[in-house]
Amino acid sequence: MILNTELEYKGNLFPSQIVSYEKHLNVLSFTTENGAVLQVTVRRDSILRFRFTTTGIFENDFSYAITKYASRGYNLLEVTENDKNYIITTTKLICHISKLDLRTSIYDAIDKSLICEDELGFHWEESYEFGGNVVKMSKTAQPGESYYGLGDKPVDNNLKGKRFENWVTDSYAYGRNTDPIYKTIPFYTALHNKKSYGIFFDNTFRSFFDFCHERRNITSFWAQGGEMNYYFIYGPEMSDVVVNYTDLTGKPHQLPALWTLGYHQCKWSYYPESNVKEITKKFRDLKIPCDAIYLDIDYMEGFRCFTWSEEYFPNPKRMVKELADDGFKTIVIIDPGIKIDMDYSVFREGLEKDYFCKRADGPYMKGKVWPGECYFPDFTNPEVREWWANLFQELVEDIGVKGVWNDMNEPAVMDVPGKTFPNDVRHDYDGNQCSHRKAHNVYGMQMARATYQGLKKFSYPKRPFVITRAAYSGTQRYTSSWTGDNIATWDHLTIANLQAQRMCMSGFSFIGSDIGGFAEQPNGELYARWIQLGIFHPFCRTHSSGDHGDQEPWAFGTAITDVVRKFIELRYQLLPYLYTAFWRYAEEGIPILKSLVLYDQHDPQTHYRNDEFVFGEKILACPITAPNQTGRRLYIPRGKWYNFWSDEVVEGGTEQWVDADLDSMPIFVKEGAIIPKYPIQQYVGEKTIDELLLDVYYKEGKETSEVYEDATDGYDYIKGRYSLRTFKLSGKKKELIIQQHKSGKFITTYKTFKLNLHGLPFKISKVEIDNVIIPFKDLELNGDNTLVLTKEFSELHIMA
Ligand code: MIG
């Protein structure tokens, strides 16, 4: 696996037999004859943490990934032993720990089937160069096992047969299989025999995962330092594994403002002010909805963070206000590198307060980025984070900037090998001083966290909005993210699809790609197809490097503009649906996009699917990812689905051809679904919503749908001022019943629903609301299929 020093090759070392066992509440410790200790913490019936030391002493137990809000508690914890094993039993799991060598085997407590078993188990190599250990774990792959997750890896959904490295890296123009790239999310889910479990290896050093690549039936992971420290999360449903991982590493600390789910326009760079205004005006003139406009690095004075170029933006406050009056939120980029310049107050202050990273022997960490030679704040120091947060006061509170975009926070350094800090750079790591080897993968996360703290403080009483490029597990608590510097090629459209799905199943749903591609230029067809995918990504932004031509919705001629408008309008119509999915994610950790395997793991056809995904709970989408197509084959998951465009009902569980000319894409709605829609707006809040459209898809049988709404921004929802409607649909041959349950104190502006009934198999002859017959004229019955009625009903009964 890893070559240790060639000077003094020691090879793998292993724990020997257990000589003592101790239990303190839910923490069980097993000590071996050669001084290794395994500590098992039972966090929940389905979550066990395994931690090993070879010196008898554990490190200070500190993690940036694990949230203090994570659920804890279990119903059963029993420890027994036989001559071979210690046996830990919870209501969900049985874990055997071998007395001979600490190897573990984990079984399902209910049917006793084997879920996950150590091969060599924990072993290590001493690191001659750095001290400590290279820590390793290997497990036997079960028959038919497949693997998913791991963050932003640009590869097919199923990871089996591949090896990966985790080291956050600035990866301009990465491609399929480039590894590593921007993010480190050392969490995977595995699936075999219809059961799923997950492993989160919470170690921030450079780490590796091997899924049956080196050896056909072995899965292993290891890191170049720190502890073997991993969480085993049992399902058996993969969706529960992801939900529990997200519970452990955190959900977004608040809902995003609704406008952040609108369409965003970005380029490197829009400047001067007149150019920004030209772009925003064009959106309004052409009636293409847009909520956010971005300023890339050229808005600053010589790339100095927290400054404005006087030449290009003489009066930012006025400009930001004028943009806001037209519905545009201004978002600006902020990088970590602080220009070495004694006349620059942020630099001077950082220097005086000793907030910049230093090399092992004392000099500052000096590196070249956009401003030239820079020093870099140590964001792993809580005092530095607070200082950084306060730097946003002027930008946000005074000037009115609504969001901040953190770039280059891998951290990226130009013109040096490795493109980042050298290993010896020192970090505070919240009081656990260490070198860059340990802090590298969390540096960007801590920068985004500090930025988030600033935005949260100065945007109050509105909600903060941050975007980051680099991330480690848990970063989803603070910020959204994009997939970095992709390329305007068809293959990158496929990669964007894979990355967004993968991030969602790695606990990080607020994700999108640079629509159209960052490097190089798309043609109109590729741009339109990319927009079609992009409107189904939680974060929806066009961005480009700007030096290959224009990449606004109108840059490719009117035919393309019309397609782009149509899909962005669809995004705006679906906002209440997406917001509800986001609420489910923020509340329960349910990913916003579900790869088919996550949606229906019991159907083996889904295990190797890549292109199709479920958006929210009820909409199936599949992009067209090749030129000159009039449709494509795709796998429709089991159950009945309505073609979104034609209302034709198809039976899933098979691969089918679906038509989709350039102005269309394959979209299906699950039967029985009730999809809420808003009218098309040019930006969130442009219109008062005076009617909620409900698209009702008839089903013979039952289905539940939800609509979550609140004031769209602010924190009142936390105090109960939200509106959650649960609709229970129940269809029979000659009737359709919809029951509504409402909770929360928020009063929506609309008083009526407009129901659009799709696929109703009968002609309506009678309608009752809460057992009272309603005359047709009061329903504004329009043909057979549209009726308008009060939002206050509990039971709607539609009869043949
Ligand atoms: O070295 O700020 O990924 O989105 O436009 C390039 C300029 C720095 C990289 C980001 C990209 C951004 C660009 N940045």
Please state whether the predicted TM-score (pTM) of the whole model is above 0.85. yes
Ligand 1 centre distance from Cα of residue 552 (Å): 18
Task: Indicate which atom in ligand 1 lies nearest the CA of residue 545.
Answer: 5
User: What's the 375 CA to ligand 1 centre distance in angstroms?
Assistant: 19
Q: Is 121 left (phi over 0), alpha (psi -120 to 50) or beta?
A: left
pLDDT on residue 4: 47
Instruction: Provide the pLDDT confidence category of residue 6 given band limits of 50, 70 and 90.
Output: very low
Contacts of 627 (CB under 8 A, 6+ apart): 490, 525, 526
Instruction: List pLDDT tens digits, range 745-787.
Output: 999 999 999 999 999 999 999 999 999 999 988 888 766 689 9
Residue 688: burial class (beta carbons within 10 Å; 0-12, 13-18, 19+):
exposed
**pLDDT of residue 5 exceeding 50:** no
CA 407 to centroid of ligand 1, rounded, Å? 7
Ligand 1 atom at shortest distance from the alpha carbon of 543: 4
Ligand 1 nearest atom to the CA of residue 335, by list position: 2
Q: Whose CA is nearest to atom 11 of ligand 1?
A: 485
Radius of gyration of the chain (CA): 27
Place 402 in a pLDDT band, splitting at 50, 70 and 90.
very high
> Which pLDDT tens digit goes with each residue over 171-212?
999 999 999 999 999 999 999 999 999 999 999 999 999 999
Q: Give 681's Cβ-side CA count (13 Å radius).
A: 24
pLDDT attached to residue 778: 85
Locus of tokens 């027994």: 80
Express as a percent the part of the chain with pLDDT over 90.
97
Ligand 1: distance of its center to the CA of 261 in Å? 22
**Atom 13 in ligand 1: residue holding the nearest Cα:** 268
pLDDT tens digits for range 654-684: 999 999 999 999 999 999 999 999 999 999 9
The best mutation among 469, 480, 485 to test binding of ligand 1, ranked by most ligand atoms within 8 Å of the C-beta, falls on 485
Residue 405 CA, closest ligand 1 atom number:
4
Residues 6+ apart with CB under 8 A from 86: 18, 21, 28, 30, 79, 80, 96, 97, 99
CB contact at 8 A, 690 and 750? yes
pLDDT reading at 344 higher than 80: yes
Mean pLDDT for the chain overall? 97
49 pLDDT higher than 60? yes
Which residue's CA is the nearest one to ligand 1's atom 5? 268
**Catalytic residue numbers?**
407, 410, 485
Instruction: Give the mutation target among 174, 268, 467 for probing the ligand 1 site: most ligand atoms within 8 A of CB.
Output: 268
In this prediction, residue 548 carries a pLDDT of 83
What DSSP character marks residue 61?
A: -
Q: Which residues have CB under 6 Å of ligand 1?
A: 268, 296-297, 333, 407-408, 469, 484-485, 518, 543
Ligand 1 probe mutation, 296, 374, 482, most atoms within 8 A of CB: 296
What is residue 9's predicted lDDT score, i.e. its pLDDT? 54
- C-alpha distances in angstroms, 361 versus 338, 340, 436? 21, 20, 14
| Confidence check: pLDDT of 7 > 80 | no
Instruction: State yes or no: pLDDT of 27 exceeds 50.
Output: yes
